[in-house]
Every structure is written in C-alpha cells, then in structure tokens.
Amino acid sequence: MPMNDKTISPHEFEVSPYQPPATSMAESTEAEGLKLAGRWIRLLAYLADGLIFFIPLLALGFFVPFLANSFESGHGDLSNDLEKGIVVAIGIFFLLFFLAVMVINWVLLYKNGQTIGKRLLAIKIVRTDGSRASLLRIIFLRFLPTGLLNSIPFFGVVFTLLDPLLIFQKSRRCLHDLIADTIVIDTSKRRSIIAMIITSIVSIVLVMMMVGILAAIVIPAYTDYINKTKVTEARRLLSDATTEVDIQIAATRQFPSTLGDWIVTSGKFVASVELNSHHSYIQATMREDESPVSGKTIRMTFDAQTKKWICSAGSPNGLEDKYLPRSCRSGEED
C-alpha cells in the first residue's frame, strides 16, 4: 500500500480522538467493557448502607438518651455509678461502631470507589471514562453538593425526591453522578438469578431484624416511659398536697383531717388524691385504663418523729417498683 494513502482502517477510525461521540452513555460504557449497575442493585446498596448507619444513629439519638433520662428520673434498679457506667459503655460502643463504619466506608471509597453496601453487591463508583474516582471527587463533588442542596428548606425536599428519580434515564445517572462526572458500574463477572434472590432475601432479613429490634427494645421502652410519665403526674400532685399539709401542721401542730379546697386532687392520669388523717398519709390512685398502672396507688406517709414524708407504693393495689420513683422504692425520705 502506498505511503501517502490516507485510508484508515475501521478500527483506527473507531478509536480516533478526532471522532465525536456517536453513542449514549449506556452504549459507550458497554463498548468499553463497563457494565452499568442495575437500578434495583443500586437501590439495595443504598438501603444496605442506610441500615448500617441507621442502627448506631438510632441508638445514639434515641436509646442511649432515653436510658440516661430513665436512670436520672429515678426509674433504674441499679446503683448510680453502675447505671452511669452502663449508659457510658453503651454510648461509647455505638459511637465506636458508627466511627468504624465511617472509616471503613472512607477506606473502601478511597481504594475502590465502594461503600460497604456497594461492595456487598459488587458495584462501584468510577469516572465516566472508566478511570478511578478519587476520594476527594466522591466527597466534594458527589456527596457534598447534594448534601447542601438537601438541607435547603422546602427545595431540599423536592431535590431529595428528584435526585434518585434521574436514575431512570438511559444513562442511569443521578444528579450527584452528573455533578461529579461519575457512573456506577457492575463489577461482578456474572450475576445469576440465584445471587439476586439471595441478595433480596438478605435485604428482607436485615429489614426484619430492624423491625424486630424496634419491637423488642424501643417500643417496650417507650411504653414504660409513658407509664412512668403518668406516675410522675401523681407524684407531683402528692408533692403539692404534702406542702399544703406541712403548712397546716406548722399552724395547728396536728395532722389535718382534710385537704384544702385549692389542692388539685385529680388529673389527666390520676383519678383521685385522698388524705387519711388516722394513719397520716396521702394516697393517689391512677385512672382506670389499659396500662399496667391502671388503678394502682402511690402513697406519701408523714413520719411524726422525723417530720419527714416517706414515699412508697400505696395499699391496696400499689404500683410496681419499676414504675415508682427511686425514693419511693428505696423508702428514702422525701
């Protein structure tokens, strides 16, 4: 062939840098040997990452504060030092768990453009040309801009819904992919139907485990908290009544036969507050409902020797210890 022949082969023409692109993103990536990750696989990876982060955040944001508040309110059954130690230990554990998840994700993103969820499902983030996406690009172009947009009042809600919907375009790129010039590809050599079924089962199991945790720990804890709040109202009404009785004792030097008309003797959760002058006590009875504290009683007894009030479960049908304030269970002076 003559040296001045300008004819080029089809292969040379295909890889020529002067040729404008003539195919879509989905087609070009497949031509380069890159297979875009499926939309449902990306969704499962997103849910897996969210679940992994949700567990420690739920514990740190709800369970640990609730446990600390429960102990501080006098509803714990252990000593103060042991209670504080338990709260601190649980808090540190979930904080370290959260930090470990963060570090593992950063390492995976730096090394291979993957989060834990993406690694489990064999997908990763790369540049549109198939090259490695740097950690800085992923954080500052892929995560940060969308995170800031999500935080904008009203618009953030719209953006949160719009961003993932863009995955249904042919290129399967969300807005954060467009901003960062990235795509998510499938790194598995072969994804069988069995693997998809197993992945779906694992995802369902994870969700069921989360629901189980909520049902076994959070919901009962919240129910106990509500019942203790009801008893708190009774304790407050009793405290008001004892203050009034103290005034009468100081004035007459004897235990009164009745409470003053201005004393509140019932409430939202309390059916009645009654005074017994013969045995020198004031007793509150909870309202009848479907809760464990229904119709239960709590009592404040005046000690003539020490001139102090002692809190305890009432009689009959006294409150269980776990619903009583600490001073009422231990018999400490009020």
Q: Would you tell me which CATH number, out of the four given (3.40.50.300, 3.30.420.40, 3.30.700.10, 3.30.360.10), belongs to the domain 231-330?
A: 3.30.700.10
- Let me know if 263 is exposed, middle or buried by CB neighbors in 10 A (0-12, 13-18, 19+): middle
Residue pointed to by tokens 């002067």: 18
DSSP assignment string, 212-277: HHIIIIIHHHHHHHHHHHHHHHHHHHHHHHHHHHHHHHHHHSS--SS--TTS----SSEEEEEEET
CA distance 251 to 182: 82
Angle, helices 64-72/80-112, rounded to nearest 10 degrees: 170
Give the whole-angstrom CA distance, residue 100 versus residue 98. Answer: 5
Mean pLDDT across 289-312: 92
Q: Is the pLDDT of residue 299 over 90?
A: yes
Residue 305: HSE in the Cβ half-sphere, 13 Å Cα cutoff: 2
In the chain, where the domains are located: 25-191, 231-330
Range list of H helices, the chain = 10-14, 25-31, 39-58, 64-72, 80-112, 116-120, 135-137, 144-150, 155-165, 175-180, 193-213, 219-252, 326-330
pLDDT digits (tens, 9 = 90+) for 58-108: 777 776 676 666 655 544 444 456 666 777 777 788 888 889 889 999 999
Weakest mean pLDDT among 9-18, 126-135, 242-251:
9-18
- Could you tell me if 277 and 249 are in contact, meaning their C-beta atoms sit under 8 angstroms apart? no
Q: Is 78 left (phi over 0), alpha (psi -120 to 50) or beta?
A: beta
As given in the structure block, the two tokens for residue 319 are 């409150």
Burial 148-187 (b: 16+ CB within 10 A, else e): ebeeeeeeeeebeeebeeebeeebbbbbbbbbbebbbbbb
Query: Among 47-56, 192-201, 209-218, 276-285, whose mean pLDDT is lowest?
Result: 192-201
Of 6-10, 35-39, 205-209, 233-237, the one with minimum mean pLDDT is 6-10
Is residue 277 within 8 Å of 259, Cβ to Cβ?
no
Mean pLDDT, to the nearest integer, of 26-40? 68
Residue 189 vs residue 278, higher pLDDT: 278
Nearest to 149 by CA among 182, 114, 175: 175
Amino acid at 62: F
Q: Which is it for strands 297-303 and 281-286: parallel, antiparallel or unpaired?
A: antiparallel
pLDDT at 231: 92
Q: How many CB atoms lie within 10 A of CB 331?
A: 10
Model pLDDT for residues 181-234, shown as the tens digit of each residue: 999 999 876 555 655 665 666 667 666 766 776 667 777 777 888 888 899 999
Average pLDDT, the chain: 79
Task: Identify the DSSP state of 79.
Answer: -
Do 66 and 225 contact (CB within 8 A), yes or no?
Answer: yes
Can you tell me the distance from the alpha carbon of 197 to that of 327, in angstroms, rounded to the nearest whole number?
56
Residue 6 has pLDDT above 60, yes or no: no
Cα–Cα distance between 57 and 97 in angstroms, integer? 10
